[in-house]
Amino acid sequence: MSPVFGHGRLRLYLLKLLDESPRHGYDVIRALEDRFLGLYAPSAGTVYPRLSRLEAEGLVTSADEEGRKVYRITEAGRAELAARQDELADIETDITGSVRDLASEIRSDVRGSVDDLRAELKSAARDVRRESRHQARTQRREANAPGRSDVERLAERLHDELREVLRRTKPSDAEVAALKKVMENAMDEVRRVLGGQDRR
């Protein structure tokens, strides 16, 4: 915000505010805040010394009204303002530029949050969907053939345990042959239970 008021521009802008209407110091500060959407709040320590200097230069006068010092622009002040119209126009462009910049910052900021949220929720939705599809599939399987998933789970456990054991212990040739026999017997038994159908 500071570049807007570099190089004596605040002084010029104060003249402009007093040209609009006479104001007391607090009113000037409020008017500045106002133009800056409350984003720039000049302190009394910034504004009052400049008002005093403008008064010393004869560009404004002050009078006590109801206990408050009210500043008014003088003819000399108006002449100064008129002579520096172009500069004033620049300041105004910069100020509004700040309104426009603020809005475009808000727009891109919101857009960013929106994109993030949509991506986040999309992936969360995918997880929820996968989870519930998985559940539905298990339920459907269970409904078609009750107990079937138990059998599959046992087969998986057998497979897992067997692999673990084979990996950890080095079975002898005789042991491997015996295990093979057990597996073949189990498979024969499964086929017998299912009525001798080969379902491979």
Partner 1 sequence: MAQWRIDQPQSLDLTGVRRLDVRVVAGSVDVVGRPDAADPGGSGAGGGAAHLEVSRVEGPLIVTLEGDTLTIAHERLSWGGLLDWVSTNRKASADVSISVPASCPVELGVVSAHAVVSSIAAAVKVKSVSGSVTLDGVRSDISAQTVSGDLEARGLSGSLHFTTVSGDLTVVDGTSGRVRAETVSGQVTLDLDVPADSSIDVSSVSGDLTVRLPGTAGLTVTAKTMSGGLDSAFEGLTTERKPGRISMQGQVGSGDGQLRAKTVSGDVTLLRRAGGAPA
**Residues in the site for partner 1, rule: CB under 8 A?**
20, 27, 30-31, 33-35, 37-38, 92, 96, 99-100, 102-104, 106-107, 109-111, 113-114, 117-118, 121-122, 124-125, 128-129, 132
| Sign, Cα dihedral of 12, 79, 86, 37 | positive
Q: How far is the CB of 143 from partner 1 (least distance, A)?
A: 12
Instruction: Output the smallest distance, CB 155 to partner 1, in A.
Output: 30
Name which of 39 and 182 has its Cβ closer to partner 1: 39
DSSP 80-126: HHHHTHHHHHHHHHHHHHHHHHHHHHHHHHHHHHHHHHHHHHHHHHH
Report the nearest approach of partner 1 to the CB of residue 108 (Å).
Answer: 9
Residue closer to partner 1 by CB (options 27, 55) is 27
- Reference 39, options 121, 97, 91, 102; nearest CA is 102
Token pair 């990996």 is found at: 167
| Strand runs labelled E in the chain | 23-24, 60-65, 68-73
Residue 19 or 191 having the CB closest to partner 1:
19
Least distance from partner 1 to the Cβ atom of residue 24, Å: 11
* Residue 118 or 157 with smaller CB distance to partner 1: 118
Contact between residue 14 and residue 28 where contact means Cβ atoms under 8 Å apart: yes
